[in-house]
């Protein structure tokens, strides 16, 4: 709109937001950048602004920190694994749910409820599910493996612990991808589909050649948002495995949390945070450019 | 023809399996929550002697620890009442704050393109980055301000990290209001502020409800910030739940009961705004 901006509106739409953002995000953000170049921990008994400046030593330390690299690798593998499985399942389900059938609304409501649950509760539930005497062993695996199933200790084996986390994530977030793709697919104009049917295209061809290309931008939205969320993963690892056994399921979030809260190595945690921030900010910037600015 | 029937049957089977996979953890948690101690480790789903003890014990930790004699269970000293109340207060207050700040910003962004793209990008960025990278400086900053473990600290932080959703959800609602109505009011001599409050605000009320409920859902679920910034006074329900798992780990029944209690509000809210969930989760990039 080309009207002149009234002063009052300008003030109202920028001032409250800036106060909120500045007070709790931008000031700490500035502090973080400064902290990353210091050597400081609360245990040193001095205030952080008195601490010694050590240049980029924290960053160099991070790049050589096996545990940091391990956490980054874990998080990357986790993200790729959950996003690809969830994408495949979500797309399959969205395709299958497209056609009308009796009870479709009820099924739709049922399969999206995991989305609404707090991740901390899902983690708590799957922690219980994967106990040696929990239902995963005691009901499902027992049916296949017999009594041996009760000896499987999911959280003591690195591979199984990682698998348990992935299963919890898939359970909770497949509906996320499903729901986005389902609304996108439902919004494809009917006349396009009908025209293709008249021309004799099979329903698989219609899906592959017409529906899928049309919803491509939304597939990217779903996958990128899900990947960014998966990269944040903290709750499942913190509750279910505690990053263990050892550090085999430690994610970036969990490691930063530990370095800053448990080991109180604040300046080092700030440096690692900055590294992760820069990495992700580039990806997010490209994504937002692709979605909000490219067309205009 | 036969191929079609098989394909159709296969479709129902896949959907059925997925529905079951979604349902089983819920069914099992409900069953566990009503099981007595003796049945916590058995495989059947229907409790033989259903009991509400698990729920009652959540509010009486002395009895809980006394009865099951869990070692090293010092982490749970609080009844669930206080975390529940804290979560309600903190979530409600930060939601209201985020929705109103978001509403003003969304109006400016929708009608006049203020604030500029940089601020909007920054709000998206804060939302998409892992919260873990903010905890270190916020912890330091809050401890300097002496607001660690206070309600006000969490309320301010939560409203700042969720205001993005309010902006993008409400912008969609405001974009849908015909601008002529505002112009008509202006022609009759109403000030811009009056137009905002008397014309736009009433029209966008459904949007405020959707944005508010969505933000309530997200804030209610948050763990990491609360874990870092609270200790005794402002402990939220998420932190309380995490203590059951981390520090004790063997109180299966009460843990399931707590999971059920904590799910009620988000699930009710989720179904209330079911149609808008997609819009919310995708910052309005996908219309539900």
End-to-end Cα distance, chain A: 15
Taking the model in full, what pTM does it have?
0.90
pLDDT at A2 over 50: no
Computed over every residue of chain A, the mean pLDDT equals 88
What distance in Å separates residue A165's CA from the closest CA in chain B?
A: 15
At A3 the pLDDT is 61
At A216 the pLDDT is 87
Q: What is the pLDDT of residues B74-116, one digit of tens each?
A: 555 688 889 999 999 999 999 999 999 999 999 988 888 777 7
Indicate the domain borders of chain B: 2-50, 81-281
Residues 109-138 of B with CB under 8 A from A: 109, 111-112, 114-115, 117, 119, 121-126, 128-138
- B114, B135, B262: residue with CB nearest A257: B135
Domain B81-281: assigned CATH number: 1.10.3720.10
Q: What is the pLDDT of residues B247-256, one digit of tens each?
A: 555 788 888 8
At A173 the pLDDT is 95
Indicate the domain borders of chain A: 64-293
User: Maximum distance among all alpha carbons in chain B?
Assistant: 75
At B247 the pLDDT is 53
At B95 the pLDDT is 96
At A188 the pLDDT is 85
| Spatial CA neighbour of A93 closest among A179, A19, A23 | A179
Tally of CA atoms within 13 A in the half-sphere of B45 that contains its CB: 13
- A135, A266, A280: residue with CB nearest B136: A266
Computed over every residue of chain B, the mean pLDDT equals 87
At A251 the pLDDT is 94
Q: How far is Cα A242 from Cα A251, in angstroms, rounded to an integer?
A: 10
Q: Which residue is closest to A230 within chain B, CA to CA?
A: B130
At B1 the pLDDT is 63
- Cβ <8 Å between A124 and B259: yes
End-to-end Cα distance, chain B: 36
Q: What is the pLDDT of residues A137-171, one digit of tens each?
A: 777 887 777 777 777 888 889 999 999 999 999 99
**Cβ of B152 under 8 Å from any chain A Cβ?**
no
Query: Is the domain A64-293 a CATH 1.10.3720.10 member?
Result: yes
Q: How confident is the model at residue B73 (pLDDT cuts 50, 70, 90)?
A: low
pLDDT at A1 over 50: no
- Cβ <8 Å between A142 and B11: no
* Contacts with B269 from chain A: Cβ below 8 Å: 116
pLDDT at A47 over 50: yes
Q: How far is Cα B150 from Cα B259, in angstroms, rounded to an integer?
A: 25
Q: Of all helices (H) and strands (E), which one includes residue A53?
A: strand A52-53
Contact status, residue A236 vs residue A119, Cβ threshold 8 Å: yes
Chain A and chain B share a number of CB contacts under 8 A equal to 303
Average of per-residue pLDDT across A127-132:
87
* Contacts with B132 from chain A: Cβ below 8 Å: 232, 234, 252-254, 256-257, 273, 276
- Cβ <8 Å between A260 and B256: no
pLDDT at B18 over 80: yes
- Cβ <8 Å between B11 and A112: no
Q: What is the pLDDT of residues B176-225, one digit of tens each?
A: 888 888 888 888 888 888 888 888 999 999 999 999 999 999 999 999 99
At A51 the pLDDT is 82
At B72 the pLDDT is 54
């Amino acid at each position: 709109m080309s009207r002149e901006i009234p002063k009052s509106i300008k003030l109202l739409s920028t001032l409250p937001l800036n106060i909120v953002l500045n007070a709790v995000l931008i000031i700490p953000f500035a502090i973080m950048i400064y902290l990353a170049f210091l050597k400081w921990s609360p245990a040193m008994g001095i205030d952080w602004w008195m601490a010694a400046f050590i240049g980029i030593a924290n960053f160099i330390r991070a790049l050589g920190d096996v545990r940091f690299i391990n956490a980054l690798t874990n998080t990357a593998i986790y993200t790729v694994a959950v996003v690809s499985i969830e994408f495949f399942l979500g797309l399959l389900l969205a395709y299958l749910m497209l056609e009308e059938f009796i009870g479709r609304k009820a099924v739709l409501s049922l399969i999206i409820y995991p989305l609404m649950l707090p991740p901390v509760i899902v983690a708590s539930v799957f922690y219980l599910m994967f106990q040696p005497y929990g239902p995963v062993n005691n009901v499902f695996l027992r049916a296949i493996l017999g009594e041996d199933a009760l000896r499987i200790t999911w959280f003591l084996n690195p591979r199984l612990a990682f698998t348990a986390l992935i299963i919890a994530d898939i359970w909770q977030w497949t509906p996320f991808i499903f729901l986005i793709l389902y609304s996108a697919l439902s919004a494809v104009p009917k006349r396009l589909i009908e025209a293709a049917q008249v021309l004799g295209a099979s329903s698989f061809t219609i899906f592959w050649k017409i529906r899928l290309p049309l919803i491509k931008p939304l597939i990217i939205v779903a996958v990128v948002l899900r990947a960014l969320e998966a990269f944040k993963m903290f709750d499942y690892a913190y509750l279910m495995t505690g990053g263990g056994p050892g550090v085999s399921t430690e994610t970036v979030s969990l490691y930063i949390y530990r370095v800053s809260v448990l080991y109180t190595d604040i300046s080092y945690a700030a440096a690692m945070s900055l590294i992760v921030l820069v990495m992700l900010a580039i990806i997010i910037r490209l994504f937002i450019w692709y979605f909000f600015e490219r067309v205009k | 023809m036969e191929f079609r029937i098989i394909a159709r049957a296969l479709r129902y089977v896949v959907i059925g399996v997925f529905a079951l996979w979604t349902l089983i953890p819920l069914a099992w948690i409900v069953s566990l929550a009503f099981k007595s101690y003796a049945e916590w480790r058995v495989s059947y789903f229907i409790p033989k002697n259903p009991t509400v003890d698990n729920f009652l014990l959540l509010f009486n930790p002395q009895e809980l620890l006394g009865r099951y004699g869990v070692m090293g269970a010092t982490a749970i000293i609080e009844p669930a009442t206080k975390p529940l109340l804290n979560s309600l207060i903190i979530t409600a207050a930060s939601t209201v704050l985020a929705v109103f700040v978001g509403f003003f910003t969304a109006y400016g962004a929708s009608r006049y393109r203020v604030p500029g793209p940089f601020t909007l990008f920054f709000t998206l960025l804060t939302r998409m980055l892992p919260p873990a990278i903010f905890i270190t400086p916020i912890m330091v900053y809050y401890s300097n301000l002496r607001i660690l473990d206070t309600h006000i600290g969490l309320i301010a932080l939560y409203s700042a990290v969720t205001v993005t959703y309010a902006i993008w959800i409400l912008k969609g609602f405001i974009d849908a209001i015909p601008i002529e109505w505002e112009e008509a009011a202006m022609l009759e001599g109403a000030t811009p502020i009056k137009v905002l409050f008397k014309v736009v605000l009433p029209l966008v009320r459904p949007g405020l409800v959707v944005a508010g409920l969505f933000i309530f859902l997200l804030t209610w679920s948050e763990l990491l910030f609360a874990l870092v910034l609270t200790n005794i006074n402002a402990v939220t329900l998420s932190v309380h739940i995490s203590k059951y798992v981390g520090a004790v780990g063997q109180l299966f029944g009460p843990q399931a009961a707590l999971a059920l209690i904590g799910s009620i509000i988000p699930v009710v809210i989720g179904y209330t705004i079911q149609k808008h969930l997609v819009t919310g989760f995708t910052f309005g990039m996908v219309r539900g």
